[in-house]
Amino acid sequence: MSPELARAESLIRGIPDYPSPGILFRDITPLLADAEALRTTTAALVEPFDGAFDVVAGVEARGFILAGAAALAAGCGFVPIRKAGKLPRPAASIDYALEYGTATVEMHDDLPTGTRVLLIDDVLATGGTLAAGRSIIERLGYTVAGISVLFEIDGLGGRDVIGDLHTVFHSS
């Protein structure tokens, strides 16, 4: 790992028992507030997929921030995958399980069929959120060009659900 990435990783805080007991929340706010750390991690998120995608999609909420920065850095557009009820005219929705509950995501269908989408989120835990993101992208007729996350929580089985993806940091 480069010194720049190691420094960026050191800015991520662990918050125990949030949002519920037994969960160790990874607070990326200090990383986001540091321009160089944000630039470094954004580059690391998109680098393996350079030239392979047309647009970046991010999952609400922290995935929005990273995907928006990634889209800007890559010179392409950003597409939100939102929580239920947040889009004015969702074209598709998918229910999924989280490690601490259930949720629904929705997405518009504003892209041409076959658009290559790089899916970005902040964390891979059990894989439910990213699997839902991948499914909704494919349901709308787009191609998932890759999946990239800021960090993966090892031992929760997310990689078994998602398969091949790029991870910037690993966390136990």
Write out the catalytic residue numbers.
62, 99
Measure Cα distances from 44 to 15, 67, 167 in Å: 24, 12, 9
Closest by Cα among 157, 156, 149 to 28: 149
> Which residues touch 6 (CB under 8 Å, ≥6 apart)?
none
User: Quick check: 163 and 152 in contact, CB under 8 A?
Assistant: no
Taking the alpha carbons at both ends of the chain, their separation in whole angstroms is 17
